[in-house]
Structure 1
Amino acid sequence: MNHYQQTLRIQTTGKSLTRITRQIETTVSDAGIEMGLCTLFLRHTSASLVIQENADPDVLVDLENFFAKLVPESGYYIHSAEGPDDMPAHIRTALTHTSEQIPIARGRLVLGTWQGIYIWEHRQRRHHRELVVHISGN
């Protein structure tokens, strides 16, 4: 079994979903693995990874609106050292994922027709996020 690992530095634009499917597809291609598994790990506690609809942007808007109501920034949080959006960002990350696994077949990610990979920035300001991409297989 072969292994390939790369850390991608992704610039987010503030509270939003940033599509990263193409960057991951390029990394998988660079790895030269024909069949295996791609593991993604986001090294942060105030942003998350989601695999979601990539055709209708209304889905992403609805997700953001739902989470804004589910975890409001105007809550009574004790932790506020990094600003009022920090603790809600931690809660949103806890409710989603910081890692994902996607099979690889014939050298490509095995995503569904309408699936895209996103970093979901939960903070108001833009950030540089580090994403570790680990690919294993043959």
Structure 2
Amino acid sequence: MKQASGELTIDTRGQGLIEITDQVARWLDDQAITTGLLTVFCRHTSASLLINENAAPAVRRDMERYLARLAPESRDYEHDDEGPDDMPAHLRTALTDVSLSIPIARGQPVLGTWQGIYLFEHRTAPHRRRIALHVIGE
């Protein structure tokens, strides 16, 4: 049994879903673990992770619009230290995930045909996001 840890740095352009499947798979390939479990962890409170369809761009747009309706930007929140998108970003993170556990088989993440791993940036300004990776297996 062996394990490895690392980190991806993702520059965002502001709100939206950024597919990181290829970056995660490349990192995993370098670890030479063929069977195991991969943990992907977003080290931020205003960005999140999710697994979703990676074929139809409309899915990403619909996800973005849906969360914008659930947690709209507003001056009505008490917590607005960094502007009107501050608290909605925290709410959107709470509604999604900051950690994913993905099985590994034949050295690759076990994902469905149309699944991709996404970083979901919830702030309007560009940010540099750090994604921690850990894999354990053989």
**TM-score band (shorter)?**
over 0.9
Q: Distance in 2 between matches of 1:60 and 1:7?
A: 24
Alignment partner, residue 94 of structure 1: 94
Comparing 68-77 with 11-20, which one deviates more in the overlay? Answer: 68-77
Q: Secondary structure at the match of 1:22?
A: helix
Shift of 1:82: 1.0
Identical residues among aligned pairs (%): 54
Shift of 1:85: 0.3
Q: How many residues align?
A: 138
Alignment of 1:112-127 (within 5 A): 112-127=112-127
Alignment partner, residue 15 of structure 1: 15
Shift of 1:75: 5.5
Alignment partner, residue 136 of structure 2: 136
Shift of 1:83: 1.1
Alignment of 1:72-87 (within 5 A): 72-74=72-74, 76-87=76-87
Alignment partner, residue 68 of structure 1: 68
Q: Secondary structure at the match of 1:135?
A: strand
Q: Distance in 1 between matches of 2:83 and 2:131?
A: 24
Q: Distance in 2 between matches of 1:75 and 1:67?
A: 17
Q: Unmatched 5+ residue regions in structure 1?
A: none
TM-score (norm 2): 0.98
Alignment partner, residue 50 of structure 1: 50
Q: Distance in 2 between matches of 1:19 and 1:11?
A: 12
- The aligned amino acid for 1:55 is A
Q: Distance in 2 between matches of 1:42 and 1:26?
A: 18
Q: Secondary structure at the match of 1:62?
A: helix
Q: Deviations over 1:59-111 (max 9, x none)?
A: 01001111111111025100111111010000000010000010000111110
Q: Unmatched 5+ residue regions in structure 2?
A: none
